[in-house]
Amino acid sequence: MARPPKGEKLVENVEGSDEAKRRARVIVETLAGKKRVAEACEELGVSESHFHELRAQFLAGAVAGLEPGRPGRPATPKEISEATVESLKQEITELRIDLQAARIREELAVAMPHVLKPRSGKKTKRRGSSQELFGPKSGT
């Protein structure tokens, strides 16, 4: 068994002021053919042209509300604390310094490649021990 249509009574479940709900209910009644435009105008205390404006506004709002949205949940805006902002600013500054240092190292490598080349596997001569250089310690 089908439920009887609620029609204009559905307006009561929508959020809004009592006056807005009353206007919506009367407009729905005219759209459903339960009330003539002249009766609606008299009930709302408006002229026929004003009623047609209200109805057009009502329908435009209804259609706009039914436009397909983006799939999924809307993005939740994240609140960023002052501490986070300061931390990010500091990180940007450090990264800029690191970038500048890398650019300087690159310029040095191009201009003076011998300075930055790693030494070959040859061991350098070590000087002799302190005994060889200065003789035996005195007092022994």
Asked if residue 14 lies in contact with residue 4, where contact means CB atoms within 8 angstroms, the answer is: no
Q: Would residue 7 be called left, alpha or beta, if left means φ above 0 and alpha means ψ between -120 and 50 degrees?
A: left
Q: What is the distance in angstroms between the CA of the first residue and the CA of the last residue of the chain?
A: 119
List helix spans (H) across the chain: 18-31, 37-44, 48-65, 82-111, 113-116, 130-134
Domain boundaries, the chain: 7-65, 84-114
Average model confidence (pLDDT) across the chain: 83
Per-residue pLDDT band for 51 (boundaries 50, 70, 90) equals very high
Average of pLDDT values for 21-42? 92
Per-residue pLDDT band for 123 (boundaries 50, 70, 90) equals low
Q: How far apart are the C-alpha atoms of 12 and 100, rounded to whole Å?
A: 66
**What is the predicted pLDDT for the residue at 139?**
53
Q: What angle do CA 96, 97, 98 make, to 5 degrees?
A: 90
- pTM, entire model: 0.47
Q: How far apart are the C-alpha atoms of 60 and 54, rounded to whole Å?
A: 10
Per-residue pLDDT band for 140 (boundaries 50, 70, 90) equals very low
Asked which of 40-44, 91-95, 104-108, 133-137 is least confident by mean pLDDT, the reply is 133-137
- Count of CA atoms in the C-beta half-sphere (13 A) of 106: 6
pLDDT at residue 130 greater than cutoff 60: no
Helices 37-44, 48-65: axis angle to 10 degrees equals 100
